[in-house]
Amino acid sequence: MNRQTEGKNTRQSVEAAGRRSVIEVDKLAVALPQGGDRELAVSGVSFRIAERETLCLVGESGSGKTVVANAVMGMLPRKLPVKSGEVLLEGRPLPPQRAVEFNAIRGRRLAMIFQDAAASLDPVQRVGRQLEEILAVHEVPRPEWRGRVLKMLEAVRLPGPMEMFDAYPHQLSGGQAQRIAIAGALLLDPALLIADEPTTALDVTTQAEILRLIATLQQERGTSVLFITHDFGVVFQIAHSICVMKDGMIVESGTARQVLRSPEHAYTQRLLAAARNARNRRPVRRSEKVLSVENLRLSYRTGTFLNRKLKPAVRDVSLELEAGKTLAVVGESGSGKSSIARCLLHLENFNGGTIRFHGEDVTKLRGRSLQNLRSKIQIVLQDPYSALNPRQTIRAAIVEGPLIHGVNRAEARSRAERLLDLTGLTAQAADRYPHEFSGGQRQRICIARALAVEPEILIADEAVSSLDVSLQAQILDLFQELQRKLGFALLFITHDLRIAAAISNQILVIKDGEAVEAGPSREVFKNPKSEYTRQLLAAVPGVSGDGWLPT
């Protein structure tokens, strides 16, 4: 593409490094509708990004970082209008004077990729057509389409570009979908790529690959990147410079080295500390074995009824849980770690293996005695939004379990209040409905609900994965504090090794339904025995830098 911007009317805006600014944002302010928690969604936001530079906009959810991205893209919802400020892309003001002209800029000079890459593709159209469409709407001559798309598919390191061209979005993995999205974004060599949490939904290995891909393509093609994330591990890996956002304002900015080495603002320090929290672990005590599982096996039926196949999900996994201790089960998505949890809860008809609860064989429990066992094993799920009935008050949600298991109403109510207090919520929360709470608060409610039946085992299935970093740290702390007070055994399922390191005494690494490594967490992190664990460790963003992990 020819850079028309280098003409006379280009503003002479040269950065300290001597490179031209690709984008300049100056004192941007975006209004919030009345009744929001603040008057402006973002205010006084200024930054500039030079050629080939990656600026990370870091902040928790609700800090306004996505609003900034959408303001630059001219894709803010109507109820969030830009109040003041200036955005210059390659020296030209955004939005352009006529709204229709924006369509010629988006996709050509300015591109964006999103968190959920699979959902950002039209499910009923072939991938290749969707990529060709970008060329079509930007008036590239038709004969060039196919060749350029195939070349781009190759550039994003997709195996078999031809097959990818003909694939539908549902046939792609999360990582492949994100590669396709990147291919689409960079197809016309835009000046600026905005990446809005593009790796948050991916497992660590894929995340590392995508980050590397973005960095490589950026250097090859000279793209500037505005990278939005809540994860300092990612920042560590990709940022050249950093802006930290809180409550709609940039509280700290500087080069990556400055901000990561010597953060000045208290908020940045707290976020960094939360990310580094990986180190603190509790001393090991001898304690009582609550649950032991031997050679657990589970297969799912797939195929049609004419052509039935068994797909193994869990293969001969053994594990032990001790009271007051935490076992982390680590694996990528699809590795079978959640299937293990479902087996322990007797939610799956597993094909083989023995489960012992306090030494007693509970593998084949049915009916009443299974009900009793279930009150001893509780689970907290990943998504606190869908885990709560929206039409039930918090109190009703928490007392439901105890009532079913024969606790009288007065006792159940006082338990609910005590648990709300323990989980850091006020007693007033009891009469409110789930939608009145934030994600972090809802996860606290889910934990309170799980603990209401006084379980001996708590299973946390990716229970902090959908929360942002500082909330993650808070919830992890909460798990540990509650465990200390109540003494339950915790089975913590996660794809994130850093989290596993932060919380567990023992660790079990699962790959394709098989345990590839097990042992005390400290040991596993210090001397990983299996190749796979080593790969996982290497893939953790930030691990290569300052040694964030307890190695």
The site for other proteins (CB under 8 A) is made up of 73, 75, 100, 102-108, 111-112, 114, 116, 119-126, 133-134, 137-138, 168, 170-171, 181, 184-185, 304, 306-307
DSSP assignment of 21-53, as one string? Answer: EEEEEEEEEEEPPTTSSSSEEEEEEEEEEETT-
Cβ proximity to other proteins, 119 vs 310, nearer residue: 119
- Which tokens go with 251? 């509280």
Q: Least distance in Å: CB of 119 to other proteins?
A: 4
Q: Least distance in Å: CB of 6 to other proteins?
A: 22
Q: Least distance in Å: CB of 194 to other proteins?
A: 8
- Compute the residue count for the chain: 551
Three-state DSSP state, 474: helix
Cβ proximity to other proteins, 94 vs 543, nearer residue: 94
Q: Least distance in Å: CB of 121 to other proteins?
A: 6
Q: Least distance in Å: CB of 466 to other proteins?
A: 16
Cβ proximity to other proteins, 126 vs 529, nearer residue: 126
Cβ proximity to other proteins, 4 vs 13, nearer residue: 4
CA 49, 68, 105, 239 torsion: positive or negative?
A: positive
Which strand ranges, in their side-by-side order, compose the sheet holding 506-511? 377-380, 457-461, 489-494, 326-330, 506-511, 514-520
Three-state DSSP state, 101: helix
- Tell me how crowded residue 359 is: count the other CB atoms within 10 A of its CB: 9
Cβ proximity to other proteins, 108 vs 395, nearer residue: 108
Q: What angle do the packed helices 266-276 and 469-486 form, to 10 degrees? A: 60
Cβ proximity to other proteins, 125 vs 371, nearer residue: 125
Cβ proximity to other proteins, 112 vs 329, nearer residue: 112
Strands in 32-175 per DSSP E: 40-50, 54-58, 82-89, 92-94, 110-113
Cβ proximity to other proteins, 304 vs 408, nearer residue: 304
Q: Least distance in Å: CB of 186 to other proteins?
A: 11
Q: Least distance in Å: CB of 526 to other proteins?
A: 42
- Enumerate the β-bridge partners of residue 458: 378, 490
Name the strand (E) or helix (H) holding 100.
none
The angle formed by the CA atoms of residues 168, 172 and 178, to the nearest 5 degrees, is 110
Q: Least distance in Å: CB of 102 to other proteins?
A: 8
